[in-house]
Amino acid sequence: MEFIGTVEFSENGKRGNPVALYVQQQDGEYRISSRLPQWTHIVGTGATVNKAAGDYELRLKAAASTAVYDGPAWNAGIKAEKPASPKPPAAAAPMKTASEGSPPAPPPQETPPSSQTPSSS
């Protein structure tokens, strides 16, 4: 278990004391949490420390109201990686009908009138 940063909460407009955050590695996965009893249920997990830090921030923001949450202060070298936002689903291509499947026919070409009349022989 290693100390990696702090988080502070404000109650009734007053800043609280910093809460220590610790990381531990378990089965190839990093877990970040505090040791304060009312916040131990919030655990960030990830394949790297930075991914676990990003997960912890998201879970903490969801659990605490924005009025009391100031955000974690990570030790140097830790940069919280937020998960990538989901990509929008690709639009389905419209179905082509039989007439749309082939290219349109070119318009008929008119032959210009001939200025010469055929001669009779």
Euclidean distance between CA atoms 44 and 53, whole angstroms:
6
For residue 120, is it within any domain? Answer: no
Model-level pTM greater than 0.75? no
- pLDDT confidence bin for 68, thresholds 50/70/90: low
For residue 27, is it within any domain? Answer: yes
For residue 36, is it within any domain? Answer: yes
Burial class (CB in 10 A: 0-12, 13-18, 19+), 33: buried
For residue 83, is it within any domain? Answer: no
- pLDDT confidence bin for 42, thresholds 50/70/90: confident
For residue 113, is it within any domain? Answer: no
Question: How many domains would you assign to the chain?
Answer: 1
pLDDT at residue 62, as a whole number? 80
What is the residue range of 62's domain? 2-74
For residue 57, is it within any domain? Answer: yes
pLDDT score of 113 more than 70: no
Choice between 26 and 102, residue whose per-residue pLDDT is larger: 26
Burial class (CB in 10 A: 0-12, 13-18, 19+), 21: buried
Choice between 79 and 77, residue whose per-residue pLDDT is larger: 79
